Structure 1
Amino acid sequence: MEIAKILLVDDELYTVESLKYFLEKKGHEVGTALTGEECLKKIRANDFDVIFLDLVLPDINGMELLKKAMNLNVSMKIVLITAYGTIEKAVESIKLGAYDFITKPVDLNRLSIILENAFKERKLLEEKRDLISLLNEKIKVDFLVLKDKKMKEIWSEAEKIATSDATILITGETGVGKGVLAQYIHLNSKRKESPFVVVNCASIPENLLESEMFGHEKGAFTGAVRTKKGKFEVANGGTLLLDEVGDLELHLQGKLLHILEDRAVERVGGTKRIPIDVRVIAATNKDLGTEIEKGKFREDLYYRLNVLPIHIPPLRERRDDIPAFIDFFVEKYSRKYGKRKLRIPDSILKRLMNYDWPGNIRELKNFIERLILTIEGERVSEYHVMNLLNPSKEKEDSFVKIKMGTALKEIERSIIMKTLEYNRGKRKKTAEMLGISLRTLQYKLKESKYAG
């Protein structure tokens, strides 16, 4: 195993010295303490991986020392050293958070096994926390490029409410980033090391949704060959995102309300009440007030979900964010596909900022990815934008219907006029798109008696 940093805490000098000699021979870095106060002082000054702690010390109660040590460093592993007469206390200490215990006289083989396992768990915990931190930073980078004041306020509010366990309702159109915001809230909560589970209420067939959410017992229905935990149980201790909650059928809304109030689930085909500890975040692109008026959504469930509401505005209401998102996605996908970073002219950037983006951030992200995959070179032209941006409308606008047998001059005139119309009468832009000089365009317009 790797070199571990260990602290031995025992008031028996012989025990401390003999264990220190054994562990140092194995290459570990070992510190010692003969009292509780000395132990706490060394924990404050060092980042130990594992502590071997005697429950009986002259200056402080072992249980009290355990609590203080864990408060100082939550990730280190504490192994208790105990005499046979204090095994009950050792078991109680494990319930408080100690990793394991070992009895005196110390079995060195058992000590080696416990040390290796404790050290591995400590490293895994550190790696998990590092990944959580990296993911959290990635989400921050993804969204803190934002310039819109309202979005910065939303992000700041999300950080504040993440510390509570209250239910959150996130509303907004498809593609605005409701799921990303929910994950960000989870990663900034005390539940961040527990599961983040998503249930898409719109994508799961109605006949399977109840089993998916609440679980089922073996034999509950045809095909239920084994007992299955539902998403609420899987998310226990963590966060459950109910995505598209506005699409949930009324009879399931009633069950959901009961679970939120009772904090317990009952599997399909079962009678046992299973307690759960889950923070619920709901998200929807529907106006739940309107759905309540239509009789499609329960008013009591709405109030139960809407404890902490967050509304994310669509991209068209925060156009100042569009250039930042474009730059971010260009950088991201250029790196992903090993391509040189695209240069987007100001004229095209303005066009992209004026587009309404009905699919919001998701549509913009997909557009930039397609652009990078299909474009040759570094420079983006109007042609690329026309072919990739909202293809059904853009393609309809960018084609000229020509009847077989039409004279070439008439075809040329039609193309010029259609392009001029597309560019709202801007001749310079029209000439660039047609690949001719402005003078040539003006000549052809005059020649066709369409000089205007």
Structure 2
Amino acid sequence: MLATKISEPENPTDTAAKGRPIVLVTEDDMVMRELVVNVLESTEADIVAADCSQEALDFIERNDVAVVVTDLRMPKVDGMKVLEFALQKNSLTQVILMTGHATVESAVQSLKAGAFDYICKPFENLELRHTVDRALSLWNLSRENVRLREENEAFSEGDVIIGRSTAMDEVHLLIDAAAAYDCSVLITGESGSGKELVARQVHLKSPRRENSFVALNCAAIPEQIIESELFGYQKGAFTGAERAKPGLFETANGGTIFLDEINNASLSLQAKLLRVLQDASFYRLGDTVPRQVNVRVLAASNRDIPALIAQETFREDLYYRLRVIEIHIPALKDRRDDIPLLANYFISKYAKRFKKPTDGMTTQVLGALMHHDWPGNVRELENVIQRALILSRGKMIEEGGLPPEISRGNEISVRAIDHMQPQTLEEVEVYFIRKTLRETGGDRALCAEILGIDKSTLWRKIKRYQIEE
């Protein structure tokens, strides 16, 4: 990538419109400026060079700059002024200061003023490249954080399914298809993934939306009571039945009934549910006359029903009756792209409920949330956000409010070397590349950052050592 010089007629603003971030290099020394540009050539950004601070200020005024790499000592306007102006224009801009006259005082002053980092001349090329890559990563994450926070202002606390990952696109398509036709639907997924929310969306988008949506958790009610809850009973059907009572199927007549954790239903109850699905009729307990209902049945399971069929604890015929359409909700760890959107939604939701003003979460908190595996899925994320919001002392949610397993889980340890037998340097290098790739799930950018090398160097080593990811 060749740098664009500000003095040229072409407007480099066009590159930002194409979605690539801009890195502005400000250096009055031509040799040093060209060196910096050459070092950053392979960066995933458009490099723009300014030969004086005034040109840099003018460019920052007109453009959205991701990273500014500026000399500290320059005529008329120094690097500290460039730093101050860049942050006033856009607080997300990351500024890296370079100087050949480094002092502890100037380093401390620049970092306190908001600089991303401070580099001394002469510098190692790899150090500069690595620093800019880290600054770009932080800029991308910060910008996404702000955008999602703004986007969530459009959400209410109603029944909405939040997610725009590829996996959730499939869920939305199936919801729309299921809503259009009056058939049974089986919703599968881990606990806490949002199965009832999907069921409500199917109902709300269907022609039955004006009628009742009745939900029952089959695991929450004792077996001896659940049948009377679903089908109702006649007076005198059992001790204490002093009057007739309609069941949930009658309550839901014309609408939708949602049977959550259907995998916990007894075989006896499964047989009666099968009759409702086949004949649209059932008997109240203690009654001899069948009752007709017009009810759509949606069911959910957090377990593998084919495995239960093999164990003879679930009826195969009921499974196929329920599974006209199956909607599988992926675990949160399998749709990490949705975590920022969900987190910001819950922050907005509970900030209103708790009447606690907030400006959202720090980039470090978002990074920690992105690295956690979420065994409790969306429900766990919601509870973590509530906790963090309650414990936050300022307007920003910080890492101190996160549970220890999430904040600590964001730190990938590389101290395994303390327990290794003596080996050659090449063997050690291969070991740590493999280990870090494994721990980062094959994320080369994160792997390179942890190892302290740039992505191109990592790629060459993977190829040289024939490392399988």
TM range (shorter): 0.5 to 0.7
Equivalent positions of 1:372-383 (< 5 A) are 372-383=389-400
| Distance in 1 separating the partners of 2:164 and 2:308 | 33
Name the SS of the counterpart of 1:300 in structure 2.
Answer: helix
CA distance in 2 between counterparts of 1:205 and 1:143 reads 31
Which residue, out of 173, 183, 199, partners 1:156? 173
Q: Deviations over 1:413-445 (max 9, x none)?
A: xxxxxxxxxxx9xxxxxxxxxxxxxxxxxxxxx
From 355, 358, 363, the counterpart of 1:346: 363
Match of 2:301 among 277, 284, 287: 284
1:258, CA displacement in angstroms? Answer: 1.3
Asked if 1:327 corresponds to 2:327, the answer is no
In structure 2, the partner of 1:274 is 291
Aligned counterparts of 1:147 and 1:186: Cα–Cα separation in 2: 21
Please show how residues 189-268 of structure 1 align to structure 2 within 5 Å.
189-268=206-285
Q: 1:384 offset after TM fit, Å?
A: 1.9
> Counterparts in 2 of 1:160-171, with a 5 A limit?
160-171=177-188
Number of residue-to-residue matches in the alignment? 257
Deviations 1:269-295 (A, max 9, x none): 110110010010001101001111111
Kept in 2: contact 1:257–1:304 (CA 8 A): yes
Shift of 1:382: 3.0
What's the counterpart of residue 48 of structure 2?
A: none
Partner of 2:402: 385
Give the deviation of 1:183 after TM superposition: 0.6
- Distance in 1 (CA, whole Å) between partners of 2:201 and 2:337 is 22
Pairwise CA distance, 1:259: 1.6
Q: State how far apart, in whole Å, the 2-side matches of 1:151 and 1:190 are.
A: 23
Shift of 1:381: 3.3
The amino acid across from 1:356 in the alignment is D
Q: Distance in 2 between matches of 1:376 and 1:139?
A: 24
Kept in 2, the 8 Å contact 1:139–1:180? The answer is: no
Contact 2:344/2:360 (8 A) holds in 1 = no
The equivalent residue for 1:96 is none
Match of 2:373 among 315, 338, 356: 356
The change in CA–CA distance for 1:346 and 1:168 in structure 2 (over 3 A counts) is same
Task: Tell me the alpha carbon deviations over residues 65-112 of structure 1, each in whole angstroms, 9 at most, x when there is no partner.
Answer: xxxxxxxxxxxxxxxxxxxxxxxxxxxxxxxxxxxxxxxxxxxxxxxx
Whether the 8 Å contact between 1:142 and 1:328 is mirrored in structure 2 is: no
Shift of 1:348: 2.3
In the other structure, the counterpart of 2:201 is 184
**TM-score, L = length of structure 2:** 0.52
1:283-321 per-position Cα deviation (integer Å, ceiling 9, x unaligned): 110100111111110111101111111100000000010
Deviations 1:123-172 (A, max 9, x none): xxxxxxxxxxxxxx85888324x220120221122122202111000000
**What is the distance in 1 between the residues matched to 2:315 and 2:157?**
33
Q: Which amino acid aligns with 1:180?
A: L
Deviations 1:22-65 (A, max 9, x none): xxxxxxxxxxxxxxxxxxxxxxxxxxxxxxxxxxxxxxxxxxxx
Specify every segment of 5 or more residues in structure 2 that has no aligned partner in the other structure, as ranges.
1-154, 410-438, 440-469
Shift of the 297–277 alpha-carbon distance from structure 1 to 2, 3 Å rule, reads: same
Deviations 1:216-266 (A, max 9, x none): 101000111110111111100000001110000111111111121111010
Distance in 1, Cα, partners of 2:305 & 2:220: 19
Is 2:368–2:406's contact at 8 Å kept on the other side of the alignment? no
1:187-225 Cα shifts (integer Å, max 9, x gaps): 111111111011111001111001001111010001111
After superposing on structure 2, the runs of 4+ consecutive aligned residues of structure 1 that deviate more than 6 Å are none
5+ long unaligned stretches in structure 1: 1-136, 395-423, 425-452
Between the aligned residues of both structures, percent identity stands at: 43
Three-state SS of the structure 2 residue aligned to 1:142 is: coil
CA contact (8 A) 2:389 2:401 kept: no
1:66-215 alignment, distance < 5 Å: 138=156, 142-144=160-162, 146-215=163-232
> Which residue type is aligned with residue 189 of structure 1?
S
CA distance in 2, matches of 1:142, 1:213: 27
* C-alpha distance 139-338 of structure 1, shift in aligned 2 (>3 A): closer
- Given that 2:257 and 2:298 are in contact with CA atoms closer than 8 Å, whether structure 1 keeps it comes out as yes
**Whole-angstrom distance in 2 between the partners of 1:386 and 1:187:** 36
Report the 3-state secondary structure (helix = DSSP H, G, I; strand = E; otherwise coil) of the residue aligned with 1:143: coil
For 1:195, the aligned partner's letter is: S
Distance 1:342 1:314 in 2: 28
Once the 2 structures are TM-superposed, how far is the Cα of residue 369 of structure 1 from its aligned partner?
A: 1.2
Q: 1:197 to 1:141 in 2, by over 3 A?
A: closer
Q: Distance in 2 between matches of 1:220 and 1:263?
A: 22
Whole-Å Cα distance in 1 between the matches of residues 328 and 372 of structure 2? 22
Quote the offset at 1:366 in angstroms: 1.3
Q: Is the contact between residue 170 and residue 312 of structure 1 (CA under 8 Å) also seen in structure 2?
A: yes
Alignment of structure 1 residues 18-33 onto 2, 5 Å: none
Between the aligned partners of 1:232 and 1:379, the Cα distance in structure 2 is 47
Classify the secondary structure of the residue corresponding to 2:342. Answer: helix
Kindly indicate whether the alpha-carbon contact (under 8 Å) linking 1:202 and 1:247 is maintained by their aligned counterparts in 2: yes
Closer/same/farther in 2, CA of residues 202 and 139 from structure 1, 3 Å limit = same
What is the CA distance between 1:346 and its match in structure 2? Answer: 2.0
SS of aligned partner of 2:333:
helix
AA of the residue aligned to 1:204: I
1:370 paired to 2:372: no
**Which one has a bigger Cα radius of gyration?**
1
1:354 is aligned with what amino acid?
H
TM-score (norm 1): 0.54
